[in-house]
């Protein structure tokens, strides 16, 4: 992960930076059949977090807001899954671990938003 990923309280910006870091990471990993497929899924789930968060902020009802935030949490979990599934060289392990940590933090943030909104 690059130094671009700063801890910020603006979740729209934080999720955008996370998705960019994931894309940069995927560019560095070996292009095996498994990594190509898992990398596509990883890119989708990491980007979906931010897109759904934006949708949540534009929601028309509380129910819609909660559904979108739950999707954000689900996509965070999925992102962790795809990150762990990738076959990467030793030099990429630290970067992957940082991405997993950030996805875990985002998942906890979304979970907290859900609990406070119920």
pLDDT at residue 7 in the model: 54
Residue 84 has pLDDT above 60, yes or no: yes
The total domain count for the chain is: 1
Measure the CA–CA gap between 10 and 48, rounded to whole angstroms: 16
pLDDT at residue 118 in the model: 81
State the CATH number of the domain containing residue 74: 1.20.1440.60
Is residue 101 domain-resident? yes
For residues 30-45, average pLDDT: 97
Is residue 3 domain-resident? no
For residues 101-108, average pLDDT: 98
For the stretch 66-79, pLDDT in tens is: 999 999 999 999 99
């Amino acid at each position: 992960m690059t130094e671009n990923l700063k801890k910020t309280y603006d979740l729209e910006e934080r999720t955008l930076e996370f998705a960019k870091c994931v894309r940069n990471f995927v560019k560095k990993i070996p292009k095996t059949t498994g990594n190509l497929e898992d990398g596509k899924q990883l890119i989708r789930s990491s980007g979906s977090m931010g897109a759904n968060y934006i949708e949540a902020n534009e929601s028309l009802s509380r129910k819609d807001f909660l559904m979108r935030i739950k999707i954000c949490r689900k996509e965070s979990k999925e992102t962790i899954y795809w990150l762990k599934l990738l076959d990467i060289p030793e030099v990429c392990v630290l970067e992957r671990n940082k991405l997993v940590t950030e996805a875990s933090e985002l998942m906890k943030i979304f979970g907290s938003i859900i609990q406070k909104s119920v």
